[in-house]
Structure 1
Amino acid sequence: MMNKETVIPKDMFVPADIDPSKSEKISKPSLNFWQDSWLRVRKNKGAVISLIILALLIIMTFVGPIITPYAFDTQNTKHNNLPPRIQGLENVHWLSFDGTLTRRDGTEYNAYEVRKVDAYYWFGTDNLGRDLFARTWKGTQVSLFIAFMAALVDMLIGVSYGAVSGYLGGRVDSVMQRIIEVIVGIPNLIIVVLMILVLKPGIIPIIIALGITGWTSMARVVRAQVLKYKGQEFVLAAKTLGASDSSIIFKHMIPNMFGIIIINTMFSIPSAIFFEAFLSFIGLGLQEPNASLGTLVDDGFKSMIAFPYQMIIPSIMIALIMVCFNLVADGLRDALDPKMRD
């Protein structure tokens, strides 16, 4: 027995009443690569919060030493080793901003009242009576400057060297990679000592030492990516159209590696801060009265038991910078890597 044929009414085939001029109109504006990447970054709350924190830290490195009435290098031995004390918060005992210290027997006392000091030091003072608030922000400024310079050298030299090595290949690649192996075999500490013998201890020898050896890891990563892209269709198409080798490297390959370059550059910043802190511990860092986060941690470590705030504050600053840069790097990697698209 056959089923009856279903009859569809003709009124279901009436064309919709749509204005032909708007039928193919694109309501959403087109986005370029960077606009689309920024929208993806905004979805990552950790990266956005870290960007805000880093922006505030960078602003405070310039504003912080100005808003305090004390200079970062001014000594006042009568006010040495004073704990943090902040106006308006000194009566809130549980915040520990009232200027109290604890003796070895466990009793607490107000250092400002005992020593009859009528002043406010927001982060306290060190053993020479210098304001730690001004020194912390000045030290953060110096440490970030060293880190950004190291990252800039890492990006410029490492990306160019690795891209040229991977693209040319053959004997040129072998020679360039042997040079990297020789540089990697030289410890940074030896280079710093040699720089200090030639130059005065300070920022320049540290930057030079990081610039000589810090770019090798970036070069290897970029070389590996270039070897992967060298045989792909867009490179062959550029060659067919007559593009030069430099144009293929810097206009076609490197833009496709922005995600990897940025994540490696971000990781080089905290590594440079740690390296500077290590040099301060062994006496090869910045010299007095200059300050960096490494020198502040080193000074606080010497009196950590009696005055723990002198080491805790710069240590928190280093940890905050490290975490924020890592979160921002992860967010940018997810936004710039085409393989991570939704």
Structure 2
Amino acid sequence: MDKEIFTPAKLDLEKREEISKPSLSYWQDAWLRVKKNKAAIISFVLLILLTIMALIGPNINGHSYNEQNLKHSNLPPKVPGLENISWLPFDGELTRKNGVVYNAYEQKNVKEYYWLGTDSLGRDLFTRLWSGTRISLYIAVLAALIDMVIGVVYGAVSGFFGGKVDNVMQRITEILVGIPNLVIVILMIIVLEPGIMSITIALTITGWVGMARVVRAQVLKLKNQEYVLAARTLGLSNGKIIWKHLLPNLAGVIIINTMFTVPNAIFFEAFLSFVGLGLQPPLASLGTLIDEGFKVLQLYPYQMIIPAIVISLIMICFNMIADGLRDALDPKMRD
């Protein structure tokens, strides 16, 4: 072959240092990865909508969560504008055991509209549903704060100082791990009363142990890295090393574990309310609504199905967001 065919490429020395891709920080790159995860974005939007409804929902239709009207008991959902659409379940009709369909609103001569129906005491389920959602989101925020504050600080201090400090702190966590949450709640009920305060104290006592163990393990791995030794050489205090060097490097692990803890806390509250150890009537939570709806499931299935759908959406949204954050913040998932 003729050597003249092969000509060297012309190199532009001015462009050899040119960066073709914009420089991104760790969090900017993570955000771009999260945006590519459609399930996480949809879940985030749904969670925002549910939060907005939990805040304003109980004040929309003018009914109170504990307002009783026995004449309006067990009414099915009926929504203005949708009541004439036969294939939607908002026409106010019920089916008897023998298969006969009747309009419960006409039979009881009720002129009001109950968008999600009423329970056995005539209380508006729409208002009670969003009041219960507010409780579940309160538990979610509480669990996140407990993990972020108590769990992270406890685990970071235990792992960083090590030695006798670590031994004493880990023995305390082992004792707390050995005590089931249900036992702590029962003890709180004996001392206090069944309700949100007992659940709050129970979560505060043991809800942070898992996060503390994860943070401790990561700190043990990172505390002997070169940048930590350099910070010690420069005279930084232990508190500043933990706050400025270790915790920022643990941010991804902390966020991911917090997002996975939140659904467990919501389910824990719903379970306690379902078995009668949580909120007491007339207060409402998604667990109490499911419990009350379960008792009349065959006659009035909407009383259980609607709150079950909402709590399922909340838990699925948190899990999808956690999956998206795990993929975005995990260094092994980077290109």
TM bucket normalised to smaller: over 0.9
The aligned counterpart of 2:191 is 198
The aligned counterpart of 2:90 is 97
The aligned counterpart of 1:338 is 331
How far is the alpha carbon of 1:194 from its aligned partner?
A: 2.3
8 A Cα contact 1:195 1:205, kept in partner: yes
* Greater mean deviation of Cα atoms: 158-167 or 276-285: 276-285
Structure 1 distance, partners of 2:101, 2:85, is 15
What secondary structure sits across from 1:101 in the alignment?
strand
Structure 1 distance, partners of 2:20, 2:7, is 34
Q: C-alpha offsets along residues 170-218 of structure 1, whole Å, 9 cap, x if unaligned?
A: 2221221111111111122222222223323322221111110111111
The code of the aligned residue for 1:269 comes to: V
1:261 partnered with 2:254? yes
Q: C-alpha offsets along residues 278-331 of structure 1, whole Å, 9 cap, x if unaligned?
A: 211232211222111111111111111111110111111110001000010111
| Structure 1 unaligned residues grouped into runs of 5+ | none
Q: C-alpha offsets along residues 40-61 of structure 1, whole Å, 9 cap, x if unaligned?
A: 2111111100000000000111
Distance 1:8 1:322, change over 3 A: closer
Distance 1:148 1:4, change over 3 A: closer
What secondary structure sits across from 1:129 in the alignment?
coil
* Greater mean deviation of Cα atoms: 314-323 or 196-205: 196-205
* Greater mean deviation of Cα atoms: 265-274 or 41-50: 265-274
Structure 2 distance, partners of 1:148, 1:30, is 34
Superposed counterparts of 1:229-248, under 5 Å: 229-248=222-241
Structure 1 distance, partners of 2:319, 2:274, is 24
The aligned counterpart of 1:178 is 171
Structure 2 distance, partners of 1:37, 1:287, is 43
How far is the alpha carbon of 1:240 from its aligned partner?
A: 2.6
The code of the aligned residue for 1:252 comes to: H
Q: C-alpha offsets along residues 56-91 of structure 1, whole Å, 9 cap, x if unaligned?
A: 000111121121121211111111100111111112
The aligned counterpart of 2:320 is 327
Counting aligned pairs with the same residue, the percent is 64
Aligned counterpart in structure 2 of residue 72 of structure 1, from 61, 65, 68 = 65
The code of the aligned residue for 1:81 comes to: N
> What is the number of residues matched between the two proteins?
335
Q: C-alpha offsets along residues 17-53 of structure 1, whole Å, 9 cap, x if unaligned?
A: x9x7x99676865433322222221111111000000
The aligned counterpart of 2:49 is 56
The code of the aligned residue for 2:4 comes to: T
1:251 partnered with 2:244? yes
Distance 1:168 1:112, change over 3 A: same
The aligned counterpart of 2:4 is 6
The code of the aligned residue for 1:6 comes to: E
The code of the aligned residue for 1:225 comes to: Q
| Structure 2 unaligned residues grouped into runs of 5+ | none
* Larger Rg computed on CA atoms: 1
Distance 1:8 1:295, change over 3 A: closer
The aligned counterpart of 1:308 is 301
Distance 1:265 1:8, change over 3 A: closer
Superposed counterparts of 1:200-239, under 5 Å: 200-239=193-232
The code of the aligned residue for 2:247 comes to: I
8 A Cα contact 1:38 1:335, kept in partner: yes
> What's the TM-score, normalizing by structure 1?
0.91
RMSD between aligned alpha carbons?
Answer: 2.2
The code of the aligned residue for 2:192 comes to: L
8 A Cα contact 1:266 1:326, kept in partner: yes
Structure 2 distance, partners of 1:240, 1:330, is 39
